[in-house]
Structure 1
């Protein structure tokens, strides 16, 4: 009995793209995960391996990035329409294009005022926190005489679209990383902090207010620090929490560097002026450290 080729499609899935629109100091961000699936007169490649009718999946990936630069991204829907029309109208063997897009929304990091900022009143126009609630954590240990309380949060994704550099590092014969003098700095904040409160004989802690304020200080420190390394930002965040929250003795931070690499658009005759990025998910740098008060022995375990 002969076999029949049924429905089939091919393409490039999960093209992670971040498009930054830079209007002066105010930046706008579109963060998309774009998947392309193409169908059409493609039987020959299945039967014989002949690729004369096949548009390479790598080309579909390049098209996503090139269109983001050339046309911008006003909405996920508009961007998907442009891509789908292009693939079908430009390729005689492609009769159907399916574009699936996930969009990750970013909100600006807000602070109560603009005093003592490093570039004035507009400094938070490039600082963002991604929508989607972080996970709040707590660990309470009691040995019959005293408590140890460690609170925390995980999955708080933040990004600065400028005000970050990385240069002057060690270089050996295996080093290929280029120095950066204006880069995206993005991370997922995972933090745990230990309270000084250990029993009823001490003044009680308003844990709800404390959590809200710790989160606020973490966000503000991230936004307001002109960063030359993620390590510097880590210490600034921990230092700010301890300076403002006397009920906390130590804080441990784990900050994966969510790398954003500029896409080389020169093969398509386009200039990429820090606008179109590939958002890589792995491998990633992982920066970790504890900030504690002088004289305090840190006890939060290292993972």
Structure 2
């Protein structure tokens, strides 16, 4: 039986990058968390410790900072494409580069004053190989809640089922969504408009869907995004069910007409799924990870 080296990659994770764009007295602020990973002809370093083909991860970190100064920092998709293409183009032993960015938003309070926005985090994952380029945008930590217009009943019941049917319940989730673009958008791509449009579609579908299951809501959200954004080929969602349990107030002589709830922590239901166009181009393997 032979033992062989399997797929591998290496890189620099979570490079914190803040770029101040100074335009007179009015400043702009970009706040990124950048991770880069390279794959390719790296067998020697694993088997013999020969590092002649290894670009140091410290160099990858420095490249992010240098590019922020030389090229500026705008939309995360554009910056990730710039970095990934650089690593593949300049390192012959590198056949693929994956750059992931978390983008933290700040609200302007004045010409040079800002307040960190904490309701969600924008995400980007760009994969560049010698054959293809893939751009995946997304959002994580987007907490949404409907206080009514949600039911859950008609489910399978066996000897271990204790959950009662619900005809009026709170539906809450923390959206983790990733959507894959048809292509890299070219130099004229309006990544900001695309992201805001996708976010509006997700939120609008959650608000406007009378839900009989979180699965139904997931499909409605994915469908709305694809309908609204023709540049998107596929969307994948992970929706934890943030349970709210009706508090029993009977020991205190009080009724509870669906008004007082206990917000559950764990365990929780986790609903995951993808919604795609039937003519969507194939994805790079593992893009959902």
TM-score of the two chains, using structure 1 as the length reference: 0.54
On the 8 A contact 1:146/1:199 being kept in 2, the answer is: no
| Structure 1 residue 140 displacement after superposition | 1.0
Structure 2 matches for 1:145-156, cutoff 5 A?
Answer: 145-156=131-142
| Structure 1 residue 298 displacement after superposition | 5.0
Q: Tell me, yes or no, if structure 1 residue 174 matches structure 2 residue 171.
A: no
| Structure 1 residue 205 displacement after superposition | 2.3
Hey, what's the Cα distance between the residues in 1 that align with 2:185 and 2:119?
Answer: 31
Deviating above 6 A after TM superposition, structure 1's stretches of 4 or more consecutive aligned residues are none
2:202 corresponds to: 218
Q: What is the SS of the residue equivalent to 1:240?
A: helix
Structure 2 matches for 1:58-137, cutoff 5 A?
Answer: 132-137=118-123
Hey, what's the Cα distance between the residues in 2 that align with 1:283 and 1:298?
Answer: 32
| Structure 1 residue 230 displacement after superposition | 0.1
Hey, what's the Cα distance between the residues in 1 that align with 2:287 and 2:241?
Answer: 21
Q: Deviations over 1:243-281 (max 9, x none)?
A: 110000000000000000000111111000101000001
1:264 corresponds to: 248
Q: What is the SS of the residue equivalent to 1:210?
A: helix
TM-score of the two chains, using structure 2 as the length reference: 0.57
| Structure 1 residue 145 displacement after superposition | 4.8
Query: Which of 125, 150, 158 in structure 2 is aligned with 1:139?
Result: 125
Structure 2 matches for 1:270-289, cutoff 5 A?
Answer: 270-289=254-273
Hey, what's the Cα distance between the residues in 1 that align with 2:182 and 2:248?
Answer: 51
Q: What is the SS of the residue equivalent to 1:209?
A: helix
2:98 corresponds to: none
* Aligned residue pairs, count: 171
Larger Rg: 1
2:217 corresponds to: 233
1:123 corresponds to: none
Q: Flag the 1:149–1:133 CA change in 2: closer, same or farther, 3 A.
A: same
Q: What is the SS of the residue equivalent to 1:159?
A: strand
Q: Deviations over 1:115-165 (max 9, x none)?
A: xxxxxxxxxxxxxxxx83311110111124532101111000000000000
Q: Flag the 1:206–1:294 CA change in 2: closer, same or farther, 3 A.
A: same
Hey, what's the Cα distance between the residues in 2 that align with 1:298 and 1:179?
Answer: 39
Q: Tell me, yes or no, if structure 1 residue 162 matches structure 2 residue 145.
A: no
1:98 corresponds to: none
Hey, what's the Cα distance between the residues in 2 that align with 1:259 and 1:199?
Answer: 39
| Structure 1 residue 301 displacement after superposition | 3.6
Hey, what's the Cα distance between the residues in 2 that align with 1:172 and 1:262?
Answer: 23
Which structure carries more relative contact order (alpha carbon 8 Å, separation 6+)? 1
RMSD of aligned alpha carbons: 1.7
